[in-house]
């Protein structure tokens, strides 16, 4: 079995099953209108089909195939509009465009840009490596949030695989989930078979209630919502490390800056796979502090944002996990109930249990983590 046959599953180790067949040379040639286009590398990311392409004139592009049930050309245009806004304000975002729509699929192409993909074979929930990447990553996120001001497009509608603030930004989050479940039948049936309201009331509602007096002071902002090393390209000239490209705006939406900051921390600072198996969280404390220090040096947090960060962190991934359940049930051919159950039990519910001290690792670690997000020393 070749590496092209392996993808990341719901854990850190690659698995053999692909939900979507790999991009073929004939397919890429047709999409790009280039009979000499060559596939250099296929991504192991499982939720879309992506490859790095070298064209006849030597350009290097990323081509992504997406089922229409996941993204339409109109949905991609929402992402590209935000990318254009950021690029015009100095953020190193590649030019991207819809390359075509054929049958049940839409194709996106984008320029690769300069820099090295240091994380192309790394699971998303992984610390920065080397550790000093955390500082530049935090600083670039601060720059992105500063540049995002003025992009006033409305929030995106619910879709499979989305990250947003529509649930925890709502006055009644349970009613918000019920509306989504009514619009998405497979997700609705999945939730109806579980006592999700009890899980929500026990684990999530306390954070929502504490966030309530802060929400009006959190300025709406278009944000990336999937910030980690795998979506950045890097250069290192021996004297300084730089982020040269910011990638993958598939989860971008109108949320708020501190929500995006919480997502960025969630992506690298807790070993969720280890926790799922009863192990330690393996928190890289110094990386986390360096990331936060670098971010706030570029974009200081308001008082409301500082108070909201430790409250948002436990719930920030919840909306995405509901949308991932929706994806596994309504988009993946034949459905994947097993992965939907993992997304609910281990990620939607499991993150909250750790933060509240209900997991096997105990209360102290999660509470110390939230304390650091709130400005306390972890030692």
Per-residue pLDDT tens digits for 200-234: 999 999 999 999 999 999 999 999 999 999 999 99
Q: What's the rounded Cα separation, in Å, for the pair 220 and 212?
A: 15
As beta bridge partners, residue 109 has 63, 97
Delimiting residues of CATH 3.90.1200.10 domain(s) in the chain: 131-373
Both tokens of residue 340? 């939907």
pLDDT at position 358? 74
Contacts of 358 (CB under 8 A, 6+ apart): 203, 352
Mean predicted confidence (pLDDT) in 67-79: 96
Could you tell me the pTM of the whole model? 0.93
Both tokens of residue 130? 């080397």
- pLDDT over 50 (residue 22): yes
Phi, psi of 348, rounded to the nearest 5 degrees: -65, -50
User: Candidates 3.30.43.10, 3.30.2320.50, 3.30.200.20, 3.65.10.10; correct CATH number of 3-111?
Assistant: 3.30.200.20
Delimiting residues of CATH 3.30.200.20 domain(s) in the chain: 3-111
Q: What's the rounded Cα separation, in Å, for the pair 240 and 81?
A: 31
pLDDT at position 244? 96
Has domain 131-373 been given CATH number 3.90.1200.10? yes
pLDDT at position 279? 86
């Amino acid at each position: 079995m070749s590496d092209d046959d392996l993808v990341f599953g719901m854990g850190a180790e690659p698995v053999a099953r692909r939900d979507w067949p790999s991009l073929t040379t004939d397919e890429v040639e047709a999409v790009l209108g280039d009979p000499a286009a060559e596939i250099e590398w296929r991504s192991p990311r499982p939720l879309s089909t992506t490859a790095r392409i070298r064209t006849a004139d030597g350009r290097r592009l990323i081509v992504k195939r997406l089922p229409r049930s996941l993204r339409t050309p109109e949905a991609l245009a929402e992402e590209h509009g935000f990318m254009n806004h950021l690029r015009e304000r100095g953020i190193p975002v590649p030019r991207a465009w819809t390359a075509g729509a054929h049958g049940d699929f839409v194709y996106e192409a984008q320029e690769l840009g300069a820099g090295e993909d240091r994380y192309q074979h790394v699971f998303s929930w992984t610390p920065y490596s080397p550790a000093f990447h955390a500082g530049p990553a935090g600083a670039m996120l601060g720059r992105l949030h500063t540049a995002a001001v003025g992009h006033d497009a409305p929030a995106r509608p619910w879709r499979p695989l989305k990250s947003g603030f529509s649930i925890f930004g709502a006055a009644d989050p349970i009613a918000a989930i019920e509306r989504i479940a009514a619009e998405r039948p497979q997700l609705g049936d999945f939730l109806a078979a579980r006592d999700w309201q009890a899980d929500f009331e026990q684990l999530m509602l306390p954070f929502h209630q504490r966030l309530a007096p802060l929400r009006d002071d959190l300025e709406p902002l278009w944000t990336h919502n999937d910030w980690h090393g795998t979506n950045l390209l890097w250069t290192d000239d021996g004297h300084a490390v730089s982020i040269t490209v910011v990638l993958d705006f598939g989860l971008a939406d109108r949320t708020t800056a501190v929500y995006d900051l919480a997502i960025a921390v969630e992506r690298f600072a807790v070993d969720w796979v280890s926790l799922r198996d009863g192990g330690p969280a393996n928190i890289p404390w110094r990386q986390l502090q360096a990331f936060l220090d670098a971010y706030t040096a570029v974009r200081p947090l308001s008082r409301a944002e500082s108070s909201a960060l430790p409250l948002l962190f436990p719930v920030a991934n919840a909306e995405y996990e509901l949308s991932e359940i929706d994806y596994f049930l309504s988009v993946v051919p034949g459905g994947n109930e097993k992965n939907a159950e993992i997304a609910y039990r281990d990620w939607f519910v499991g993150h909250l249990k750790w933060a509240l001290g209900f997991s096997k690792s105990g209360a102290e670690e999660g509470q110390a983590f939230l304390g650091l997000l709130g400005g306390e020393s972890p030692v």
